[in-house]
Structure 1
Amino acid sequence: MNMRPDRSHRHPPSSHPTRQDPLTDRRFEDLLQQASAFFAATERNPEAERQVAIAEIIETMKRYGLTVEDLRATG
């Protein structure tokens, strides 16, 4: 009689790829810097967005020869 252990209790193989590189201090620091850069890039800066919007409005007004009075007359 062939006695094999019951394998039904094992978890299915993970669908996530396994990283071969060990997580050294240097690798950890690199990953931390990458994460910090990612989050810094995604943070909103309302004042900067406001300045961009103003610049776009000014450019559009110049392109079409509009004045503030033109805007008041239509509003």
Structure 2
Amino acid sequence: ALSRLMAVSERYPELKSDALFQDLQAQLEGTENRIAVARNRYIQEVQSYNTTVRQFPTNITAKVFGLDAKPNFTVANEDAIST
């Protein structure tokens, strides 16, 4: 979303000076940052959970209750998204 706004702002330079556009751009950057932070926290929690489920002696308890390792966050087209 941010890259689209950047492309639009390059085509229409008068938008850059518009305070509402700058505010929207700042809000989108903040949203993207919050999403990145939440994604990283999720990944860390899943890794921690998977380590606990696989480590002795908690792996015995995990097997008794049917707890298995969970897949971590992945994106099919991560390279395309990052550009």
TM class, shorter-chain normalised? 0.3 to 0.5
TM-score by length of 1: 0.38
| Greater relative contact order structure (CA < 8 Å, 6+ sep) | 2
- Bigger proportion of residues as helix: 2
Between Structure 1 and Structure 2, whose CA radius of gyration is higher? 1
